[in-house]
Amino acid sequence: MSSMPEKLSDHTKGVLSPLGDSAIVITLGKEMNVDIHKKIKVFMNMLEEEPFIGFIECVPAFTNLTVYYDSLMIYKEQKLKSKEEYISPYEVVRSIIERKLQRMKKDKALPQRTVTIPVCYGGEFGPDLEHVARYNHLTTEEVIHIHSNGEYLAYMIGFAPGFPFLGGLSEKIATPRRPSPRMSIPKGAVGIAGMQTGVYPISTPGGWQLIGQTPSKLFLPNESPPTLLQAGDKVKFTPITSIEYKEMTLKEELK
């Protein structure tokens, strides 16, 4: 099996690369943007609606889609079809994906959810709000207004279970990560890092600038899917008071 990336035709503008012996990475662009994200989502939906024998799952990222497959199942299926010539599971999957990419409809409409997340900004809930305001020569009220009036796209879920990497942050409040990360960030913390915003689903170390906190649960281990947000979702934030935060937190805990 070759370990070198294999370019596709100009029509697909993609690169296929093996990842171990049971996954393949489909790279469809070089930078994070809405058009590349849509291609990834369209092809992901295509694979899930028309899975090939041995398909396990696919995981989207900013510029690529990783497809996981059962090598043994593909090997057994291939052996039944051809007893003379051996074709590796990777070659079988690569061939399938190339054919599917050629007939992918790039202009296909995608269903999209809009999820609204309540946020209590500043104070003990957002210890870096004042820093973000000073860095951008704004008041804290202006930062809250800009952040809560934006519409964000969940490009991918990762880093921690349910953590959404949200694009679409206004340049007016973009702020670099902290020079050194905190050892512990509470679950529900809403942060900014460069041109992205996100929400910590669990308590974890992290270096994002914290501007608020949500009572909403993003990691739902007992549900399917186990995360509030999925790649492709639109996200909006709405400000709440500390009293509302405590009331919503109590309701979440009683669920």
Domains of the chain: 6-102 (3.30.1360.40), 114-254 (2.40.100.10)
Mean pLDDT of 17-22: 94
What is the spatial distance between Cα 91 and Cα 83, in angstroms, rounded to a whole number?
Answer: 16
The reported pLDDT for the residue numbered 87 is 81
Contacts of 114 (CB under 8 A, 6+ apart): 233, 234, 235, 236
Distance set, CA 210 to CA 55, 120, 144, 167 (Å): 39, 11, 12, 16
What is the spatial distance between Cα 6 and Cα 30, in angstroms, rounded to a whole number?
Answer: 15
102 phi and psi angles, rounded to 5 deg: -65, -30
Is the confidence at residue 145, as pLDDT, over 90? yes
Q: 83 falls in which pLDDT band (50, 70, 90)?
A: low
The reported pLDDT for the residue numbered 76 is 85
- Structure pTM? 0.84
Place of tokens 């909006």: 236
The reported pLDDT for the residue numbered 79 is 72
Which pLDDT tens digit goes with each residue over 186-209?
999 999 999 999 999 999 999 999
